[in-house]
Amino acid sequence: MINIPTEYWYGIKYFRGSSLRPLTTVDYFKCLIDLKPLFTQSDFNNSTPVFYLNMRTHEMKDGGDNGNSVRLCYFSVNPKSTEDIVECFIKNNQDKIGIYTFQGDIKKVDNRDPKSSYLIDEPRFIKFLAVYTQIGLDLLAPTVLLSSRLIISQYMKALRTGLIINPRALFEDFLNQRSVFFRNILNEKERDQLWDDLRNCQSSERCFPHFLANMMAVYDDGRLL
């Protein structure tokens, strides 16, 4: 069960390997795997009940180096605690992971005030971001990563060409076998919402499954697998 707090601070962190060189596709998934223990820490989850992950390319026009990083977007009820926990984790794993500094900030959001809303349809969209991330973390195991990337990529390509595919028929058995979060945490209502959200691709800016694909099914140049 994922519960979105009424008030939270929204922040962003970017991660690379210890050298801070831009991530290749292989490096990106290695960085995700190296970060995964952070997201199982109870203190992190207590201060940061919702977060999502994907690949970010830092374009030169925005002051970046045209390189890729793992992007962590988090919704914290205690931003100082979240920051301290992340920094401690990186310090203890500095031989593998480093923080790439790029236009990160923290801002307070109150769900009761539409003017401070993170995105349109905020609660549902944020929940989708959190759900796909937890499922994606389950799919990082070496024995299932490639097949997971392929099935997500093919689904996204089909959506972009206008094909109508039932996401439940495509994903349900696959996820039941491979994702502990999907199998043990999501209830039937939440699964039904997931299938609806995976159909929600109204535009390039409001395409829910695009975010899943951007975590699990991209090359380092941004193309789908």
Per-residue model confidence as pLDDT tens digits over 96-114: 999 998 765 556 665 555 4
Output the pLDDT for position 116.
52
Q: Rounded to whole angstroms, how far apart are CA atoms 195 and 168?
A: 6
Per-residue pLDDT at 35: 98
Give pLDDT, residue 120. Answer: 45
99 in Cβ contact with 13 (< 8 Å): yes
Distance from C-alpha of 222 to C-alpha of 225, rounded to nearest angstrom: 9
CATH class of 7-116: alpha beta
Q: Where are the domains of the chain?
A: 7-116, 124-216
State residue 24's pLDDT score.
93
Q: Splitting the chain (225 residues) into consecutive groups of 10 residues, what average pLDDT does each group show?
A: 83 95 94 97 96 91 88 94 97 97 64 50 85 97 93 90 90 96 95 94 78 87 61
pLDDT at 38: 98
- Give the pair of three-digit tokens for residue 50: 């919702």
Q: What is the pLDDT of residue 58?
A: 87
Claim: this prediction has a pTM higher than 0.75? yes
- Which residue carries 């058995």 as its tokens? 173
Taking alpha carbons only, the member of 203, 200, 222 closest to residue 213 is 222
Question: Could you tell me what percentage of the chain is helix, strand and coil, using 3-state DSSP and rounding each to the nearest 5?
Answer: 50, 20, 30
